[in-house]
């Protein structure tokens, strides 16, 4: 794994480099819907590339396949766990029945992203699984395609990981939408329509999210499907049918956090429609639960269980950092070499370095009972080139890539990489992930 920072530094003057970065971010904002392309005064879209060797790329694809299987098996086992265990894993009591009884989807998640980091020994380590509403759609398609034209001139031996990733997105979403749910007690022939109208639900005030689902809607419309995009204020129940923008929908993709949807008056109707098979959620409760870091603790605790193949057991042991529920740890546990993570923390929020955590902070995390302790790994750094604060020069910094490996329709589909500090947060930048031609 290497970056293109040094080659870019030699190829472009600081003035030219800064202009390209500015141009890339303006295009991302104006044409690709990435309205937050300026994050606290720093560009979100970087000009550069993370290059994987063919062997690194192939291993990452294989790990994605194996971990997808691991998570599928884990979720099937977890929904049969006791109520007490579900509470320990952070699943709320009022949603237990819906979790256990919702009709199974074709995929655990049609679009998911395993976030990996490579350690200093050259081993890929799984940091988390973004199974519910992974970001990166426009970045790995529109933005990457535009930037690759520059990078190909820099090194003609570079290649994109998957130039057909947009097609993989479309197929995954469409395949899930056409898969008829089979609620308990209802014969398959009595299920929903097989030519579904697909709705995308989003919080309209979040413009970047709105742009992402609009992108999904666009690629589905190109395939001839009928699609609607609406806000929660456009979402209602009429005579047992869910409506979006005043029109009935048969399938729904929710770029709307479950924890926010659950406090809306329509949520009970949403669950009823789901359980009865009137509405097909493309990303359902099980896909949402799979995102919890508590599942990583369950998988680590059960890594030698018979539900996993020997290959899966070996992959878990080597590539998943040790992860524990705090309540399973002894009172004198030394947390200094661990990272403390909230079950559903997003973009680096509620993540604490155990080496810097005070005893009072540790006690507070224990009392909250929604945190895991994950063994800290030493992430391999790469060089990264940035405009300086005045946009008059450049600076070469040491940065840490988080390589998000997509699973779409249960298959590996490419990567979305962010680069920044050791903990990937909202300051991290997008950087294209490339490989070397064989």
The pLDDT value recorded for residue 348 is 60
Describe the crossing of helices 144-154 and 14-31 by its angle, rounded to 10 degrees. 160
DSSP state of 379: B
Integer Cα distance of 233 and 230 in angstroms: 8
**How many residues does the structure list for the chain?**
438
- Distances in Å between the alpha carbon of 117 and those of 66, 295, 302, 381, 424? 16, 19, 23, 10, 10
Topology classification of domain 2-291+381-436: Rossmann fold (3.40.50)
pLDDT for residue 193: 53
DSSP class of 247: E
CA distance 280 to 140: 27
142 secondary structure, DSSP code: I
Bridge partners of 17, per DSSP, are none
Q: Cβ neighbours of residue 61 under 8 Å, at least 6 residues apart? A: 405, 412
Question: How many whole angstroms separate alpha carbon 196 and alpha carbon 184?
Answer: 21
Q: Is the dihedral of CA 254, 256, 259, 264 positive or negative?
A: negative
Reference 322, options 348, 354, 347; nearest CA is 354
Whole-number Å distance between alpha carbons of 322 and 376: 9
pLDDT, one tens digit for every residue, the chain (438 residues): 999 999 999 999 999 999 999 999 999 999 998 887 776 678 999 999 999 999 999 999 999 999 999 999 999 999 999 999 999 999 999 999 999 999 999 999 999 999 999 999 999 999 999 999 999 999 999 999 999 999 999 999 999 999 999 999 999 999 999 998 888 766 665 544 568 999 999 998 888 899 999 999 999 999 999 999 999 999 998 887 899 999 999 999 999 888 889 999 999 999 999 998 889 999 999 999 999 999 999 999 999 999 999 999 999 999 999 999 999 999 899 999 999 999 998 766 689 999 999 999 999 999 999 999 999 999 999 999 999 989 999 999 999 999 999 999 999 999 999 999 988 887 899 999 999 998
Report the pLDDT value the prediction gives residue 39, as an integer from 0 to 100: 65
Give dist(CA 353, CA 356) in Å, integer.
Answer: 6
Instruction: Provide the H-helix boundaries in 132-264.
Output: 144-154, 165-178, 207-221, 258-261
pLDDT at 184: 74
pLDDT confidence of residue 192: 47
Phi, psi of 64, deg, nearest 5: -60, -45
Task: Give CA–CA dist 427/13, Å, rounded.
Answer: 25
Angle (nearest 5°) at CA 199 between 28 and 212: 10
Q: State how far the alpha carbon of 258 is from the alpha carbons of 130, 210, 255, 291, 375, in Å.
A: 14, 16, 9, 12, 28
- What's the whole-model pTM score? 0.95
**pLDDT the model gives residue 331:** 87
| Residue 438 confidence (pLDDT) | 81
- Are 108 and 68 in contact by the 8 Å Cβ rule? The answer is yes
Phi, psi of 360 (to 5 degrees): -65, -40
Ranges of each domain in the chain? 2-291+381-436
Can you give the pLDDT at residue 350? 86
CB 396 within 8 A of CB 5: yes
């Amino acid at each position: 794994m290497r970056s293109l920072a040094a080659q870019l530094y030699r190829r472009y003057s600081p003035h030219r480099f800064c202009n390209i970065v500015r141009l890339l971010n303006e295009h991302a904002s104006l044409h690709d819907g990435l309205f937050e392309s300026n994050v606290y005064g720093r560009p979100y879209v970087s000009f550069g590339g993370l290059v994987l060797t063919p062997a690194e790329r192939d291993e990452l694809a294989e790990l994605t396949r194996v971990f997808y299987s691991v998570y599928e098996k884990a979720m099937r086992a977890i929904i049969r766990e006791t109520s007490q265990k579900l509470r320990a894993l952070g699943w709320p009591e009022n949603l237990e029945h819906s979790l256990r009884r919702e009709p199974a989807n074709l995929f655990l998640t049609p679009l998911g992203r395993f976030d990996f980091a490579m350690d200093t020994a050259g081993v890929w380590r799984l940091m988390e699984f973004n199974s519910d509403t992974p970001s990166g759609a426009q970045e790995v398609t529109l933005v990457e395609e535009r930037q690759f034209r520059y990078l190909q001139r820099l090194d003609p031996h570079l290649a994109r990981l998957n130039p057909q990733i947009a097609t993989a997105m479309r197929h995954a979403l469409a395949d899930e939408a056409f898969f008829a749910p089979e609620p308990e007690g209802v014969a398959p022939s009595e299920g929903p329509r097989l030519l579904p109208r697909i709705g995308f639900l989003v919080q309209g005030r979040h413009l970047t999210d709105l742009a992402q689902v609009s992108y999904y809607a666009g690629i589905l419309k190109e395939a001839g499907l009928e699609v609607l995009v609406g806000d929660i204020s456009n979402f209602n129940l009429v005579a047992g049918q869910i409506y979006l923008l005043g029109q009935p929908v048969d399938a729904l993709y929710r770029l709307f956090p479950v924890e926010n949807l659950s406090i809306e008056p329509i949520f009970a109707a949403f669950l009823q429609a789901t359980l009865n098979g009137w509405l097909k959620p493309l990303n359902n409760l099980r896909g949402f639960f799979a995102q919890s870091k508590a599942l990583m603790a369950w998988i680590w605790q059960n890594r030698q269980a018979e539900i996993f193949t020997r290959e899966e057991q070996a992959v878990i042991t080597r590539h998943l950092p040790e992860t524990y529920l705090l309540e399973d740890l002894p009172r004198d546990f030394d947390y200094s070499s661990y990272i403390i993570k909230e079950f559903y923390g997003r973009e680096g929020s509620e993540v604490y370095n155990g080496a810097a955590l005070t005893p009072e902070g540790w006690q507070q995390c224990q009392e909250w009972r929604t945190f895991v302790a994950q063994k800290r790994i030493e992430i391999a750094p790469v060089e990264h080139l940035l405009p300086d604060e005045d946009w008059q020069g450049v600076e070469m910094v040491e940065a840490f890539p988080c390589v998000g490996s997509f699973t779409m329709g249960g298959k590996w589909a490419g990567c979305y990489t962010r680069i920044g500090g050791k903990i990937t947060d909202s300051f991290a930048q997008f950087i294209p992930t490339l490989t070397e031609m064989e």
